[in-house]
Amino acid sequence: MGVKTAFQLEKAGIKNIGKNFLSFQAFEAISVGELVDVMRGNVVKQKSRFTVQISKNLHMDVVEPIKYTNHSCNPNCKLDVKTGQLTAVKAIKPGQNITFDYCTTEYEMEEHFKCNCESDKCRGFIQGFKYLKPNEKKLILPKLSECIKENYLNEEDERVSIKSVE
Ligand SMILES: [Zn+2]
């Protein structure tokens, strides 16, 4: 049925990268545009470090392997929340962590953390889209999930209405 994902083809899987920290990693080269896997899980109201925001108040408690996909400020994959597809946007080498930008899917994260993605565009502390600087928000605008985009447009509306009151 359909295209097999890189995970199903065992080109990628979960690896313990120390201190029981699990990471979804490429075992073989993955090319740009390749389907890495599709997000699955139960829909829940309570967010956690393993959920992905799917609407204003709902989250998906994502199962392996996407559950263990780490964040990067300059990621090699994008997660399409609507279809659940995690797709490579860069060539991924064997041994590299598979990553996406959590700020494209999470408005306000349950657990904040210090990023060590080592990208020169690293934002440092990751707390969700809400906390990005205005220029950082603009940069990732085309990559946002629908509900984050909606939140962003609401923020813009608020700014405009604040200005018109002044
Ligand atoms: Zn970073």
Summarised one tens digit per residue, pLDDT across range 11-68 is: 999 999 888 789 999 999 999 999 999 999 999 999 999 999 999 999 999 999 999 9
Residue 1 has pLDDT above 60, yes or no: no
How far apart (Å, rounded) are the C-alpha atoms in residues 53 and 45? 10
Q: What is the dihedral of CA 51, 62, 15, 103, to 10 degrees?
A: -40
Q: For the domain bounded by 12-157, which CATH number is listed?
A: 2.170.270.10
- What would the mean pLDDT of 134-159 be, rounded to a whole number? 90
Query: In angstroms, what is the span from residue 120 Cα to ligand 1's centroid?
Result: 8
DSSP assignment letter at 32: T
Residue 159 has pLDDT above 80, yes or no: no
Query: In angstroms, what is the span from residue 72 Cα to ligand 1's centroid?
Result: 5
Res 81: pLDDT: 96
How far apart (Å, rounded) are the C-alpha atoms in residues 163 and 57? 28
pLDDT band at 165 (very low <50, low <70, confident <90, very high): low
* Tokens 């996909």 found at: 69
The closest alpha carbon to 75, from 115, 109, 22, 38, belongs to 115
Instruction: Tell me the pTM.
Output: 0.92
Residue 116 has pLDDT above 70, yes or no: yes
Query: In angstroms, what is the span from residue 126 Cα to ligand 1's centroid?
Result: 8
Res 22: pLDDT: 92
Residue type, 30: I
Strand partners, 30: 92
Query: In angstroms, what is the span from residue 93 Cα to ligand 1's centroid?
Result: 19
Query: In angstroms, what is the span from residue 113 Cα to ligand 1's centroid?
Result: 10
Query: In angstroms, what is the span from residue 71 Cα to ligand 1's centroid?
Result: 7
- What would the mean pLDDT of 106-111 be, rounded to a whole number? 94
Please state the domain extents for the chain: 12-157
Q: What is the CA radius of gyration of the chain?
A: 16
Half-sphere exposure of 153 (CA within 13 A, CB side): 8
Query: In angstroms, what is the span from residue 70 Cα to ligand 1's centroid?
Result: 10
Q: What are the C-alpha distances in Å from 72 to residues 43, 45, 75, 125?
A: 24, 25, 5, 11
3-state secondary structure of 77: strand
- What would the mean pLDDT of 83-107 be, rounded to a whole number? 97
How far apart (Å, rounded) are the C-alpha atoms in residues 36 and 86? 5
Res 77: pLDDT: 98
How far apart (Å, rounded) are the C-alpha atoms in residues 112 and 95? 26
Residue 91 has pLDDT above 70, yes or no: yes
